[in-house]
Amino acid sequence: MNKCIFVFLLLLTLCINAQEQRTTLSFLDRTEFKIGYSGNVIWNNGLTFGAEYLWKEKVKIKDRKRGKRTNTHQFLFNSTLGFTTNFSSKTDTGLFTNFGLTWRRTNKKGKQFSIAFNPLGYYRSFLPETYEVKGNDVKKVFLPGRGYYAPSLSIGLGRLRKGKTLTGRYFNINFMLRTPYNTGTVPSVSLQYGFRFNFKKKK
Amino acid sequence: MRKIICIPLRTVFILVTLLSFFSCSNNDDLSDLNATIMVRHKNADMPAYIYGNGSEKVFLITLHGGPGSIGLGFRNSTFKNKIEKACAVVYFDQRGSGMSQGSYSENGISIDIMAEDVLALVKVLKHKYGSDSRFFLMGHSWGGCLGTATLLKNQNEFLGWIEIDGMHNPKGMYSRYIENFELIANQQINEGNSIDFWESTLNLINTVPLIYDESAFFDMNNKAFNAEVKLGRDGVINKPRNDSDVLFEYNFITALSTGGNTQAILIDQGLLETVTYTNRLSEITIPSLILWGKYDMVLPVSFAQEAYDNLGSSSKELVLFEDSGHEPMFSEADLFAEKVIQFIDENK
């Protein structure tokens, strides 16, 4: 399972690079980076880093009484790497990464609404001192933890800052599943607040 | 070229250092243990939170209720300030409970495997703290079922068994609910306490089937918990005061989700319909202490006498808590701690 996920992630990265070669805009022109808090405040707190690569963009202009209304619809490839831990215990620490597609609408005032679906996700838990028991043998486990398939869905709001290096900020509610976790699947909910930036947009 | 190699190496070094930090326990001072270790057994990683005075290498292993509850739920101020001063207490998140994790099918959950997990925990503690470590086993509610199953597998590892309002006879709960509700409801109505509630309880037991029915079982089980709330409000028992600070230690979304699954699997396997250890209690011969709330509505007090009468131990004691229901460790905490410490001191 882990190997399959790795191959998927690799292919996705190659796809993104291939896309870049077909377009006139450079990879950095199309890519925004993001950094933010991720957690549910009470139990899990952590950081996420990521990138969003603009795949398709459509500008819709509608005539309204007060003038023209411009909405931009974007599809972006999205990738995230995150770290989460519970400061009160040592049993809930993990690294996760996910890849997927984001749909984002930006209105004339720069207000954004987005939905990100990340079908490719991997969560690796890191456990404290662990001993494995097999029959009468007890052995300490090196770098203990477990890997889970972890798809996620995020719904969020944001604000675009046109022409700035710090291109915007976002607030998402993220719903992630981890499976196989014990006998089934375990859900987790987190809030994500952070900033997007693009070094190429300095004007 | 050297720079290209050095930067990834530095990153790997920092990552390994960070991850090693998270893999370390923070206190191995035996007189004041504060450690979390994981037991990996049969595709499950189960946390054992170890606190207290381990200078004599005496460990009290606690088995939580549920099934599917949390190990640290026991750790109220009485445990912290009294029992942990007398010995080291091991709060164990069982398979599929609390923050334990792993990957296994539904067949990976059974009383048998969970009992093996407890024995695996003993092996790990011996490996870490020395083969001269000594153990007492304590089980509350469902932990009473698991503890009994563990002892029936191997009681030689333990110096004593403490059953607190325990479920050594899950199969018997259904019929005892009916008997106990009738008894307590009539008592309370005669005393003029919460008459409407107790009349509704009598109505409930008059409508449930006489043979096991899962839906009726859980109706009575819910009623039992509500009944203890009423008894507390009417001053018949002390209100349980659980001041354990587990709010931040457990991600409750994770714990409730995984614990609920575990409970459902065990019930589907016939836990409440077919499992009873009453006839095998005579095989348990280590010193035993039975602690029970007189007004336990969840596991009625008649189970306490049953355990006392059937245990094969030559040294056994039954203590009834006059002002308690299902959780005497929270409603008469001082007396509870006194009895536990006395038992450990006498048998360690």
* pTM listed for this prediction: 0.87
What span, in angstroms and rounded, lies between the C-alpha atoms of B230 and A154? 44
The per-residue pLDDT of chain A, averaged, comes to 87
Contact of B149 with chain A, judged by CB distance below 8 Å, is answered with: no
Structure tokens at A117: 């679906």
Interchain CB distance below 8 Å, B251 and A189: no
* Partner-chain residue, chosen from A42, A127, A143, that has the shortest CB–CB distance to B45: A127
Kindly state the percentage of chain B with pLDDT values over 90: 89
| CA closest to A148 among chain B residues | B103
The per-residue pLDDT of chain B, averaged, comes to 92
Helices (H), chain B: 2-23, 77-78, 84-86, 111-129, 142-153, 173-190, 195-207, 214-233, 252-268, 271-274, 302-310, 328-331, 333-347
- Determine the distance in angstroms separating the CA of B125 from the nearest CA of chain A, rounded to an integer: 10
- What pLDDT, on the 0 to 100 scale, is given for residue A4? 56
Contact call for residues A46 and A4 (beta carbons, < 8 A):
no
Backbone angles phi, psi at A152, to 5 degrees: -145, 160
- What pLDDT, on the 0 to 100 scale, is given for residue B18? 54
Say whether pLDDT at A86 is over 90. yes
| CA closest to A179 among chain B residues | B103
What span, in angstroms and rounded, lies between the C-alpha atoms of B30 and B125? 12
The position carrying tokens 């539904």 is B106
What span, in angstroms and rounded, lies between the C-alpha atoms of A113 and B342? 64
The interface residues of chain B toward chain A in range 252-271, judged by CB-CB distance below 8 A, are 252-254, 257-258, 261-262, 265
If one compares B203 and A8, the residue with the highest pLDDT of the two is: B203
Structure tokens at B139: 């089980």
What span, in angstroms and rounded, lies between the C-alpha atoms of B235 and B139? 27
pLDDT bracket for residue B212 (50, 70, 90): very high
Helices (H), chain A: 2-22, 27-30
Residues of A in contact with B261 (CB under 8 A): 182-184
pLDDT bracket for residue A1 (50, 70, 90): low
Say whether pLDDT at A17 is over 70. no
- A-B CB pairs within 8 A amount to 127
Say whether pLDDT at B246 is over 80. yes
Kindly state the percentage of chain A with pLDDT values over 90: 67
- What pLDDT, on the 0 to 100 scale, is given for residue B244? 82
How confident is the model over B189-206, as a mean pLDDT? 96
ipTM of the complex: 0.89
* Partner-chain residue, chosen from A144, A146, A182, that has the shortest CB–CB distance to B258: A182
Alpha-carbon Rg of chain A, whole angstroms? 20
- What pLDDT, on the 0 to 100 scale, is given for residue B28? 63
Say whether pLDDT at B331 is over 60. yes
How confident is the model over A69-73, as a mean pLDDT? 89
Say whether pLDDT at B50 is over 90. yes
- Which amino acid, residue A158? G
How confident is the model over B175-190, as a mean pLDDT? 97
B51-65 pLDDT per residue, tens = 999 999 999 999 999
A92-112 pLDDT per residue, tens = 999 999 999 999 999 988 999
Least confident of A64-73, B19-28, B127-136, B259-268: B19-28
- Determine the distance in angstroms separating the CA of A2 from the nearest CA of chain B, rounded to an integer: 14
Least confident of B9-13, B96-100, B104-108, B184-188: B9-13
- Determine the distance in angstroms separating the CA of A56 from the nearest CA of chain B, rounded to an integer: 34
Say whether pLDDT at B17 is over 70. no
| Cis before B8? omega within 30 | no
| CA nearest neighbour of B252 among B135, B97, B106, B127 | B97
DSSP code, position A107 = -
Residues of B in contact with A87 (CB under 8 A): 248
- What pLDDT, on the 0 to 100 scale, is given for residue A61? 87
CA distances, B143 to each of B38, B102, B148 (Å): 19, 21, 8
**Residue A132: other Cβ atoms inside 10 A:** 17
Cα B331 to its chain centre, rounded Å, is: 16
Residues of A in contact with B258 (CB under 8 A): 181-182, 184, 186
Structure tokens at B45: 């990683």
Interchain CB distance below 8 Å, B123 and A183: no
Reduced to 3 states (helix: H, G, I; strand: E, B; else coil), residue B95 is coil
Interchain CB distance below 8 Å, A126 and B257: no
- Which amino acid, residue A90? K
The position carrying tokens 């995020």 is A154
Say whether pLDDT at B16 is over 70. no
Angle (nearest 5°) at CA B71 between B69 and B74: 100
Instruction: Point out which residues pair with B90 in neighbouring strands.
Output: B50, B61
pLDDT bracket for residue B243 (50, 70, 90): confident
A162-177 pLDDT per residue, tens = 878 888 999 999 999 9
